[in-house]
Structure 1
Amino acid sequence: MTIAYEWRGRFENDALNALHADGFGHAVLQDDWWAQVNRHSLGWVCATEDGELAGFVNVAWDGGVHAFILDTLVAARHRRRGIGTELVAVAAEQARAAKCEWLHVDFDDELTDFYFSACGFRPTKAGLIPL
């Protein structure tokens, strides 16, 4: 099976809500992802296989030169196939094309190898305030 990657690809809220629940281990919510990404994001990447949403990454931005990777998700049954790495690569390519100069990401410790080794991010100092 072949995975297709599409910048600002069309998706159904139900499919992304299910993927988000699968990826982050919570109940399926009824968030309006379509409205959210169209209102606040530089773009997003959808990975599909035979019309099924297999992966997703959101690229938020500051309206200038900083873009931010959020919600990198790959369905459990599609993991370990390089889909997440390609989602981030497409996101980086499109952020670069939009004249962004920096692509930021934050993540939990268990994702260090993925973001630093597979995706090419480098460690930086950052801060976080839980709200």
Structure 2
Amino acid sequence: MTIEYEWRGDFDNSALNALHADGFGHPVAQTDWRERLQRHSLGWVCAWEGGSLIGFVNVAWDGGVHAFLLDTVVAEHRKRSGVGGALVATAAREARAAQCEWLHVDFEEHLRSIYFDACGFRETTAGLIAL
């Protein structure tokens, strides 16, 4: 089946909450993704297969030249099939089209090869404070 990638795709909150639960292995939440994305995001990418939401990435931004990947998730049954890389590639293309100059991401160590090898990010120095 063909996978379609859609910038600022129309999605149902319950479908995105279910995808997050599946992809991250936690109970289904009741997050109002539409409200959150409208307030804080440059855009987002939805991956669709046969009418089902199988992937998602949020592209937050500073209103200027910096965009940030958040909430990258792929359905468990489609992991390791290139969906994540295609989500990130679409996000990068659209952020570039919006005149962003930098795309930032942070991730857990086990995702290192995905972001550096498959997606083309380069290592930088960054800092983090756990609040």
Question: TM-score, normalising length from structure 2?
Answer: 0.98
Which residue matches 2:127? Answer: 127
Q: Deviations over 1:9-39 (max 9, x none)?
A: 0110001001111122211100000111111
- SS, match of residue 39 in structure 2: helix
CA distance in 1, matches of 2:70, 2:111: 13
CA distance in 1, matches of 2:60, 2:4: 22
**Structure 2, unpaired ranges of 5+:** none
Matches within 5 A, 1:83-102: 83-102=83-102
Which residue matches 1:23? Answer: 23
**Structure 1, unpaired ranges of 5+:** none
Q: Aligned pair count?
A: 131
Which residue matches 1:64? Answer: 64
Amino acid at match of 1:23: G
- SS, match of residue 121 in structure 2: coil
Deviates more, 1:40-49 or 1:74-83: 74-83
Question: TM-score, normalising length from structure 1?
Answer: 0.98
- Displacement of 1:101 in angstroms is 0.4
- Displacement of 1:52 in angstroms is 0.3
Amino acid at match of 2:101: E
CA distance in 2, matches of 1:38, 1:46: 15
Identity of aligned residues (%): 69
Aligned Cα RMSD in Å? 0.6
Greater than 3 Å deviation, 4+ residue runs: none
CA distance in 2, matches of 1:120, 1:49: 25
Which residue matches 1:106? Answer: 106
CA distance in 1, matches of 2:61, 2:55: 20
Which residue matches 1:13? Answer: 13
